[in-house]
Amino acid sequence: MDVILVRDYEEMSARAAEIVIAALRQKPDAVLGLATGSSPEGLYARLIDAHTNDGLDFAPVVTFNLDEYVGLGPDHPQSYRAFMNDRLFDHINVKPQNTHVPDGLAQPLRAHCAAYEEAIRQAGGIDLQVLGIGRDGHIGFNEPGTSLGSRTHVAALAPETIEDNARYFAGPEEVPRFAVTMGIASILDARRCILLAGGAGKAEAVAAAIEGPLTSQVPASALQMHPDTVAIVDEAAAARLRRADFYRWQDRNRSQILDRL
């Protein structure tokens, strides 16, 4: 895993945007895997700016979101479809039919999960997957204990996740208890992953994911097996990393390393 340590949220978002924009310049019809929550909002703002001011074209792009709450339809203000429309899709020229978010109202859900996996395969697989990380080390809604071989499935939300997401609702009691989520194996199929982590509350999870053992109890640690993952971590979230000095040295010398490839 390539680790980039940055000062703050703004620099984290800027570095992530550089990677995504470069990927779209290289492959205009790229398939993007997208995440919700506070971590990627700054990235999305920069993608909107690149479209508005620099002509970045999203017309050929296809997107697949990681997850959606079970029981929330696309018109619900706290659904992840509504989040993506508000934070990104409504402000760029991506074709609505090319944006995919799991359907929280689908029945039966098991068949919908299988169909979502098939849709990703039919699109040629995900070229670049954006990820956040939960306080308990989850990616998507793959909570601790989720099989590392899991595919898109219905997941129960852990109490920590419900507590963290309550700020988007009237209170914890309003947060759905289940979600449809890409599985860990689904995420690892992406050709490249970007993991975004900011804030002191993520420090323990970041250290466990990057430097701890590979374990289903820290789902994000599965990214250690991925051949092309970059973790962009701000200073607060990096507080427990033992090899922080090496990651900083590596980033400072990145251009020299790339020149030799």
The count of domains in the chain is 1
In the residue annotation, 76 being an active-site residue is answered as no
- What's the longest Cα–Cα distance across the chain? 54
DSSP-derived 3-state class of residue 240: coil
Q: Is 153 a catalytic residue?
A: no
How many angstroms separate the CA atoms of 80 and 74, rounded? 8
Given 67, 68, 117, 234, the catalytic residue:
67
pLDDT tens per residue across span 82-111: 999 999 999 999 999 999 999 999 999 999
Residue 192 belongs to domain with CATH number = 3.40.50.1360
Query: Of these residues, 138, 153, 164, 234, which one is catalytic?
Result: 138
Using only C-alpha atoms, the chain has a radius of gyration, in whole angstroms, of 17
This prediction has a pTM of 0.95
23: Cβ–Cβ under 8 A, 6 or more apart, which residues? Answer: 30, 127, 128, 192
Active site annotation includes 143: yes
Q: What is the pLDDT of residue 238?
A: 98
* Active-site option among 68, 103, 143, 234: 143
Active site residue 226: no
- Structure-token pair, residue 220: 């994000």
Given 68, 103, 127, 136, the catalytic residue: 136
Residue-level pLDDT at 254: 78
Range of the domain at 14: 2-259
Residues of the chain with pLDDT under 50: 261
pLDDT digits (tens, 9 = 90+) for 241-258: 999 999 999 998 876 655
